[in-house]
Structures are given as structure tokens and as C-alpha cells.
Amino acid sequence: MTHHSIDQQPLLDVRDLAVSYKLYEGVLHVLQHMDFRVESGERVGLVGEAGCGKTTLLKAVAQILPVPPAKIEAGEIHFKGRDVLDNHKMSHRLVRRDISMILQDPTASLNPTLTIRTFMSDILKNAPHPVSKSERKIQMMAALEKVSMPSPERVLGSYPVQLSGGMRQRVCIAMCLLKDVDLLLADEPTTSLDVTIEKQILQLLNVLVVNNRKSMVLVSHALGAVRTMTDRTYVMYAGHLAESGATDTVFDSPAHPYTIGLFEATPKLSGEGVSDGIAGEIPSYLAPPPGCRFAPRCPQAMAICHEKQPVGTNLGNNHVVFCWLHAGTQEGDS
């Protein structure tokens, strides 16, 4: 994906976003200096371990952050050229109309007290052009068939408890399809599913996005899924960006020590043995390291890493890495 040019406006442009959570123990500075971009028709991957702020970023974009305890401290979120954080009714409507999100746990995403039919018709009742009951039924069935749901009629009358995990996630995707969105945010859509079902769901998502020329953000702990399904990838660590670039570049020649460590730590199907992993654990957000947040675990950390947060260095082709090791190797424009 190299067709990014300055004059073309990205579909989603997150600039310098900072989000914190205020808890009993204190303030958790989760996201900081987050820059994130999705072009029209682009599939973007977001990679990082549990608790690194991936979900927070997506929820901030979809405007479903639980406020309080969450708080947007700084930054802008531009969607279709409009800063949607301006708290304007129009921005809200824009986000609701054109962005959908699949959450990690399909069981938690579906209201346990409502049937699938009730939930789906509530969505349709809010469509810009309300339709009759029979038309709604047709649309619901069509959406369920699009996600290759076996026996959609029966599913419509079911409560979520009566469906398997895979079927629940299909239902969630079908619900996202009921409105014609431009951007689909998929937050670990397959983490709670078995690997054979994961494959089916990922394939389904990919087909739906590619065929309808939608944009998608795919967050996944399954690095392989991000590799095969996205054009560009962001790597996050502890609420900070570690590196970003074209997916192939990031996977073939990772530059950030965290990315390298993460990829090495992932067990390979080709059987290359077990790596040592990365020493230490994720820092506490209550008192994160003042410099690079990865510095305490980084095998190559220098003095400056513990003091100052690294700035982005463009290694070429928009492969940007936030690491002091690469500072000074700048190539082209930043």
C-alpha cells in the first residue's frame, strides 16, 4: 500500500491521542501520543499484547469509551475530515452511521435478555429509512445469510445463551452489516474462539471487507492473521506506538526491539524451538517509566531510553519506528 499522498484525506486520522482511566488507586495513563491513520479501503492491523491500549484506541474511535472512568486527555480524532471529538451532534451521528465495531467477546456483546430478532430489529428501526416489519425480516435474514449462518430462522428466535461462541460472533458481524458502514473496527474478533472457527470468521470478515471495499482495523493477538489480512500494521507497547509500516515490511524486517522480541517469542509452525521471550513484565500504568516504556525490558536499552520518550523515525516507505536506536537514521520526509 503505497498510494498514500498528502493531498488525499485519510478516512480516519487519530492525532496525538491520550486516554487515561481514573481508578481508586490513581490515574492510569494508558494511551499516549497515539497517531493512527486509516485510508479509504485500507485494512490496518494493530498488534500488541494484552493491556497495551488497543481496545482503548478502538473504543475511543467508536465513541464507546466508558466515561468515567476513562478520559480523553488530549488529541484529535478526525473521521471523514471532521474532528469527531468536538461533541457535536453531527459528529456523533457520523460516527454511529459510518463506523461499526466487533468486540472481543461475542458473549458479552449480546444482551442476554433479548432475542437476536429483537436486537436486530432495534438496529433496523433506527435506520435512516425505516422499513416495514416484513422488510425488516428480509433484511435480517439476508444479513444472517451473508455470514453463512446455519438455520437463520431459528437463530433469530434464539437468545444468545442458546448459540455457540462461533455463532454468536457471526451474529455480531451480521449486526454490523445491517448498516452500510465505511469503517469496521474488529477488536480481537476471534480470541475467544477455537482455531478452526477462528479461521472461518477471519475468512468471512476478509471477504466482506474486500468485496464491499470497506476499511477495516483488525486487532489481533494472532499475528499471523494480521499478516495475511492487512495492508498496514501498527505495533503498540504499553500504550505507546512502537512501530508502524506496510504489513510486509513490519513482519519481514521489524525494527523495534519489542517487535523483534515479540515475533521471536511467537512459536512457529515450522518448529524453530522456543525463544527466551522478553524478560520482565508490562509496566504499571500508574507509574509508567518516564522514558521509553519498553526500556526496562529492552535488551538494547541505552541511558537516553530511560529518560526521554523516543520520537518517530521514518526508515523509508513510511516505516516509522519509535526507538532511540534508530534515531538519526532518518530517511526522506518525516
Site residues for another protein, 182-201, by CB under 8 A, read 194-200
Q: Which is nearer to another protein, 12 or 202 (CB)?
A: 202
Stretch that binds another protein, among 10-18, 81-89, 171-179, 238-246 (CB under 8 A): 171-179
Give dist(CA 241, CA 294) in Å, integer: 11
Give the position of cell 478520559. Answer: 71
Sheet holding 82-83, edge to edge: 26-38, 12-23, 70-79, 82-83
Q: From the CB of residue 159, how many other CB atoms can be counted at a distance below 10 Å? A: 14
Give dist(CA 31, CA 106) in Å, integer: 25
Residues found in the chain: 334
What is the grid cell recorded at 297?
525490558
Residue 114 main-chain phi, psi, to 5 deg: -120, 145
Q: Which is nearer to another protein, 7 or 281 (CB)?
A: 281
Return the residue of 119, 234, 322, 324 that touches another protein, per CB under 8 A.
Answer: 119
Site residues for another protein, 120-149, by CB under 8 A, read 122-123, 125-127
Q: Which is nearer to another protein, 223 or 246 (CB)?
A: 223
Q: Which is nearer to another protein, 4 or 125 (CB)?
A: 125
Sign of CA dihedral 88, 90, 93, 98: negative
Does an H or E element contain 22, and which? Answer: strand 12-23
Nearest to 169 by CA among 118, 204, 141, 209: 204
* 6 near another protein, judged by CB under 8 A: no
Q: Which is nearer to another protein, 172 or 321 (CB)?
A: 172
Return the residue of 4, 16, 138, 162 that touches another protein, per CB under 8 A.
Answer: 162
* 236 near another protein, judged by CB under 8 A: no
What's the CA dihedral at 69, 72, 78, 79 to 10 degrees? 0
What DSSP string runs through 288-321?
Answer: --SS-TTGGG-TT--TGGGTS---EEE-STT-EE
Shortest reach from residue 295's CB to another protein, in Å: 12
Q: Which is nearer to another protein, 277 or 316 (CB)?
A: 277
Give the position of cell 445491517. Answer: 178
What is the grid cell recorded at 326?
534508530
Q: Which residues pair with 184 in a beta bridge?
A: 100, 216
Site residues for another protein, 282-311, by CB under 8 A, read 282-283, 296
Shortest reach from residue 13's CB to another protein, in Å: 20
Shortest reach from residue 262's CB to another protein, in Å: 6
Site residues for another protein, 71-100, by CB under 8 A, read 96-97, 99-100
Return the residue of 9, 64, 307, 317 that touches another protein, per CB under 8 A.
Answer: 64
Site residues for another protein, 246-285, by CB under 8 A, read 251, 261-283
How many chain residues are in contact with another protein, going by CB under 8 A? 83
What is the grid cell recorded at 203?
475468512
* 209 near another protein, judged by CB under 8 A: no
Site residues for another protein, 39-58, by CB under 8 A, read 49-50
Give the position of cell 448459540. Answer: 163
* 117 near another protein, judged by CB under 8 A: no
Return the residue of 15, 27, 74, 159 that touches another protein, per CB under 8 A.
Answer: 159
